Amino acid sequence: MTLRELMPRFLALGEGYAGCGPNHSDAPIPALGPVAEALFAKHPALLGDLGYVEFLRTYAGAWVSVYDQDGDELWFAFLIGIDGFGGKVVPFTEEGYGVDADGFLCVAQLYHQRSRVELDFGYYVDGTGEAGLHRIADRNGRSSRRWYCESFVAWLETFVQAGEAIFSE
């Protein structure tokens, strides 16, 4: 599947929002072009995943909240972006969304409200980790890291397919 096929399905999982990057087909924001290119210049390892590059250039960031039938939030998925969009998407420049001490740059976070499990997905941008998306799981104060999949689009497809199976009525 392609990113453009997956994003509407991602947003349909719940209440969501996707931004408009410099290459957005309906409402491009050209001023975000230099912001994206500066991020890629600072972290050239990101250019190894063309799907993620396309995501930032097209959507610049996105999120979705999935609620149960009582209106309580179950999951929150946050695809970290390059612009704040009036506070709706937190950009990389916000505190906490930079490269950590291990060279890991988080590009997506999932948070399950009931179990308090947080999953972070990202890249090792300092050249020390294996190419592809890695996962950090934080459960009850315990953290584990491992390679997860080859690309952002593969991760998004897995998340969307699982979400459609779990969250559908």
pLDDT of res. 88? 43
Q: What is d(CA 79, CA 48) in angstroms, rounded to the nearest whole number? A: 18
Q: Any idea where the domains of the chain sit in the sequence?
A: 3-167
In tens, the pLDDT along 114-131 reads: 777 888 899 998 877 788
Q: What was the pLDDT predicted at 23? A: 95
Which DSSP category does 126 fall into?
A: T
pLDDT digits (tens, 9 = 90+) for 15-37: 999 999 999 999 999 988 888 89
Q: Residue 92: pLDDT band by 50, 70, 90 thresholds?
A: low
Angle, vertex CA 11, rays to CA 7 and CA 14, nearest 5: 155
* pTM exceeds 0.85: yes
Q: What is the mean pLDDT of residues 65-82?
A: 85
134-144 residue pLDDT tens: 998 887 777 78
Q: Is the pLDDT of residue 104 over 70?
A: yes
Angstrom distance (rounded) from CA 86 to CA 17: 12
